[in-house]
Structure 1
Amino acid sequence: MTSTVSASGAFDEGSNDAVAARHSAAAGAAAAHIDVDARAVERLAALVRIPTISRHPDGPGPRRDPEPFERFIEALPTLYPRVHEQLTRERVGEAALLYCWPGSDPDGATTPTVLMAHYDVVPATDDGWTHPPFAAVITNSGPDGGDDAVMWGRGTIDDKGCAAAIFEAIDRLIAAGFTPQRDVLVSLGDDEEVTGRGAQAVVALLRSRGIRPSLVLDEGGAIVSGAFPGVDEPYAVVGVTEKGITTLRLVVEHQGGHAASPPPLAATERLARALLRLNRRPARARLDPTTRTMIATLGARARQPLRSVFTRAGLFAPLLVRVFLRTSAETRALVRTTRAVTELRAGHAANALPERAEATINMRIAPGTSVAEAVDEVRSAIRDEAVEIDVLEPSEPSPVSPASGAGWDAIVQAVRDVHPNLLVTPYVMMQASDSRFFTTISDHVYRFAPFRMSAAERACLHAKDERIRLSAYLEGVRVYEALVRQR
């Protein structure tokens, strides 16, 4: 074949040189893409290897070690130099960080887009982990099978994965010469796992500056499958609200004595009876409006006969509540306030009766209810005035953000830019996040980590063997990139 050149000077499409040029360009672009992705993975690994473990400042154990937090803060400019050249950075509170990427429209400074994450993690030791939690080991596949490479480590999903993906997205946009129309703020919390005081300080700072974000996106939902009865395809769940969170401390005081002559109902037995009564009387189940919308949205893709029931959620609400209560722990949590006994304390010697027995209960308050209602249900279930109930750090369910309008549409479009035609639904986030504090300065607060997560991967949050598939992580980077391009 003869090489020819068109009148414009370009290679003719049919020539050997043209074909070679196209192949060379495609190979170069592919190599560059692989190189960028490889660096993205390396930077996430570097952050996961820093053990930024949060411990409650008022808890019985040792306070957190500040050294890893300082090391994390110092590592960011080295890992993302382009981001730190273009964005300003403020340290807020003890170790929270607030970045600002100025937009082209000055009016956008008071209505910015806020991308949130936190870089503290819950404690982890090597015990029981397939790979050490702070080694960021990468394997060719995970326990779920398949050929996806996997990074193992505490924080890969909760929540350094989001933090790193946000920085990667901004870095790529800067490299492409992009400037957002309105300001983009990045809020990195340092204590989300314990108190959220860093995020509260950021909110106070933004409020003092008259800033009301037009969109706030934090961790929360994900791209999942198999969690909703009858729906086989994957779908994205975006939190438009989240449950409240409250800690109860149940306390029983009783005169101690020698264990050789125990009374019929000592402090420990009385506390145990209270917990058993509480377990037999779970909170009332109901369908809140957001969950009804989710059921109708996902139900339209369900297999029959479930589809006919799900798309008539209002008519079949009592039946749906029963179905959700029997399906899984995740679906049960969608329809009621949950209670989990997380700590038990009593006694000081093996042969002495405890003078005080305590239990800590973590409650997640369902939308449409309140902390007061949840505590009243606990009192009614226990039916024992000798059991003291202390309410600690009460937080009500968050206001519901709209599942329509510019902010919501931008999230949906960003997801579908990367995952075409993916079903996206609002839902109630069952965990608590730093985003709940932002509801005081924005009406458009959403919770979504843009990663594909299997049921096994979701089960590893706050547990052993937390991990993320690298393909899912890199897709998340692209979702953040697509979202910022729209803002």
Structure 2
Amino acid sequence: MPGEGSALPHAVSALQALVRIPTVSHRDAARTDAGAFDRLLDELAAQFPLVHARLELTRVGTHGLLFRWDGASDAQPLVLMAHLDVVPVEGQQWSRDPFSGEIHDGAVWGRGTLDDKGCVVGICQAVESLLEQDHVPAQDVWLSFGCDEEVSGTAAQEAVAVLRERGVRPWVVVDEGGAIATEAFPGIRAPLGVVGVTEKGTTDLELRVDGAGGHASTPARHGPTARLARAITRLDDAPMPASLPAPTVELFRRLAAHAPLPLRPLFARAERLRPALTRVLLAAGPETAAMARTTFAVTTLAGSPALNVIATTARAGVNVRVMLGDTVEGVVAHVRRVVADDAVQVNVLEHGEPSPLSPMTSEDPGFALLERTITEVFPDAVPTPYVMMAATDSRHFTAICERVYRFAPFRMTRAQRQSIHAADEHLGVEALLEGVRWYRRLVEELPR
């Protein structure tokens, strides 16, 4: 295992270099350090000179990149995606500097290693190594690197607009999302090569209550904060109905041979036993429960600016992940029904429906290509479709492509998956190198 002081593979040192540049996105653009993004683009060009010298580059957004690699044909283009920005680290307790790129216990530590600079490096290193051998892909390959994914920005939409203007309809799009996931399901020892074939819609709601305010020494009952607290509690106590979407049924079917003996018949008959399997998911913990229903997370709260002042307005931000089969309209109706208080306004701040379902059977040539490359590079893993819980830039590409997949080709433990957007994010050195091999094989296996 390479360590400090030894000669590191180029992909590893490149990831360290990118992690050390804090390309943090903020919804308030004035808070975003554009200079950091400038330095990152310079560093990316220095680390991967052939990518920048031989591929046609179009800038999108403020710092987004869209590369075109000419193939032998442009009939079935491949788009490989990742994003350059990261989320903030303020308020988190890291065990080491989040922007040091330090190698510890065989892994590169730092914000963005998993989300999503690891994919940036994996893609660029794979392409750079093929360019060194003068490889010509069977089909055009596009590299789309967004700069504002973490704040639901516009760079990916601009990339889609460029492709549409040029008449490009991708055959397959691969973005971040899934992984080679260990400890993914209780009792399953084999790692799962989970490929997101759809993703939940991301919708932000605001619960708001207005009142008269006043001095804290003379409070009235049922003021804005009390009503808001009651609304939050009612919403928490009344989740939306759970169900098993088609990708999850297929996931269970593929896991049947790897499940503990008592569960094998249940998994194998997933289609007919959806209610029972839904209960299994709900009981197995939050990660699996989120696979079965629309979720609500109260993430922000605001009230009075002073301890001795009664709030005139109390607000709660609710991040909703809308399950395949549900709609934003249905979500808002559910919230209003369970809150059951006309004084609580339910405002939609950001509207996002679930993404269309991409093909997910071995008979489909695009999905089969991903399955083959997963099996080749990760022979111990079980390739399977699943519903992606988070939002990615790739949701915008569904407008021009029917095969949009979310898969980061890295081994990740449960603890690593939980570190995404949290403290102590890290990516194993060997996992990064396996990911490079996966991207390379994907390009090499493009159909002629």
Specify the TM-score bucket, using the shorter chain as the normaliser.
over 0.9
Could you say if the C-alpha distance between residues 296 and 365 of structure 1 is closer, same or farther in structure 2, counting changes exceeding 3 Å?
same
Aligned partner of 2:129: which letter?
R
Alignment check: 8 A CA contact 1:53 1:120 kept: yes
2-structure distance, mates of 1:361, 1:219: 24
Of the three residues 365, 371, 374, the one matched with 1:412 is 371
| Residue 360 (structure 2) pairs with residue 395 (structure 1) | no
The farther-off stretch of 295-304 and 372-381 is 295-304
What TM-score, normalized by structure 1, do the two folds share?
0.88
Q: 1:337 to 1:289 in 2, by over 3 A?
A: same
Conservation of the 8 A alpha-carbon contact between 2:11 and 2:432? no
Q: Aligned match of 2:388 in 429, 433, 441?
A: 429
2:9 counterpart SS class = helix
Who is 1:474 aligned against? 433
* Distance (Å, rounded) in 2 between the aligned partners of 1:254 and 1:345: 14
Match of 1:485 among 434, 444, 448: 444
For the Cα contact (< 8 Å) 2:207–2:347, is it kept in 1? yes
Partner of 1:116: 81
Counterpart Cα distance in 2 of 1:176 and 1:36: 23
Residue 97 (structure 2) pairs with residue 132 (structure 1): yes
1:83 to 51, 72, 81: 51
How far apart are residue 289 of structure 1 and its match? 1.1
Which of 367, 380, 386 is 2:337 aligned to? 380
Indicate conservation of the 8 Å contact 1:294/1:426, yes or no.
Answer: yes
Instruction: Find the counterpart in structure 1 of residue 229 from structure 2.
Output: 272
- Distance between the aligned counterparts of 2:346 and 2:353, measured in 1? 18
Aligned partner of 2:12 in structure 1 is 41
Aligned partners of 1:251 and 1:357 also within 8 Å: yes
Between the aligned partners of 2:370 and 2:144, the Cα distance in structure 1 is: 18
Q: Is the 8 A contact 2:190 2:380 kept in 1?
A: no
Structure 1 partner of 2:62: 94
Could you state the TM-score of these two structures normalised by the residue count of structure 2? Answer: 0.96
Change (3 A) 1:366 1:85: same
Residues 71-90 of structure 1: per-residue CA shift (max 9 Å, x gap): 11122111111211211111
- Tell me: CA distance 1:391–1:452, structure 2 relative to 1, closer, same or farther (3 Å): same
Q: Secondary structure at the match of 1:357?
A: strand
Q: CA RMSD in A?
A: 1.5
> Matched residues in 1 for 2:244 and 2:91: separation?
41
Pick from 267, 283, 286 the counterpart of residue 326 of structure 1.
283
Q: Provide the rounded CA distance (Å) in 2 between the counterparts of 1:54 and 1:323.
A: 38
In structure 1, the residue corresponding to 2:275 is in which secondary structure?
A: helix
- Count of aligned positions: 440
**Residue 27 of structure 1 aligns with which residue?**
none
- Contact 2:68/2:140, CA 8 A, preserved across alignment: yes
Report what 1:230 is aligned to.
187
For residue 32 of structure 2, the aligned residue among 64, 68, 80 is 64
Q: Tell me the secondary structure at the aligned position of residue 294 of structure 1.
A: helix
Cross-structure match for 2:173? 216
Equivalent-residue separation in structure 1 for 2:58 and 2:43 (angstroms)? 15
| Counterpart selection for 1:340 from 297, 308, 312 | 297
* Larger RCO, structure (CA 8 Å, separation 6 or more): 2
Percent identity of equivalent pairs? 46
State the match for 1:439 in structure 2: 398
Which residue of the partner structure matches residue 25 of structure 1? none
Any gaps of 5 or more consecutive residues in structure 2? Answer: none
Select which of 107, 117, 121 maps to 1:160: 117
SS at match of 1:297: helix
Cα distance, 1:125 vs. partner?
4.1
> Is the 2:196–2:388 contact (alpha carbons within 8 Å) kept by the matching residues of 1?
yes
* Alignment check: 8 A CA contact 2:64 2:146 kept: yes
Distance 2:15 2:182 in 1: 25
* Partner Cα separation in structure 1 for residue 28 and residue 92 of structure 2: 25
Shift of 1:407: 1.3
Please tell me whether the aligned partners of residues 231 and 299 of structure 1 are also in contact (alpha carbons under 8 angstroms): no
Write the deviation string for residues 393-430 of structure 1: whole angstroms up to 9, x where unpaired: 21110001101322111111111221225310000000
Q: Which has the larger radius of gyration?
A: 1
Q: CA deviation at 1:230?
A: 2.7
- From 292, 310, 317, give the equivalent of 2:249: 292
Query: Letter of the aligned partner of 1:444 in structure 2?
Result: R
Residue ranges of structure 1 left out of the alignment (5+ in a row): 1-30, 142-148
- CA displacement 1:290-317 (0-9 Å, x = unmatched): 1111111112321111011111112221
In 1, Cα distance between the equivalents of 2:62 and 2:349? 23
Instruction: Provide the C-alpha distance between the structure 1 equivalents of 2:196 and 2:145, rounded to a whole number of angstroms.
Output: 19
Tell me, in whole angstroms, the C-alpha distance in 2 between the residues paired with 1:353 and 1:296.
55
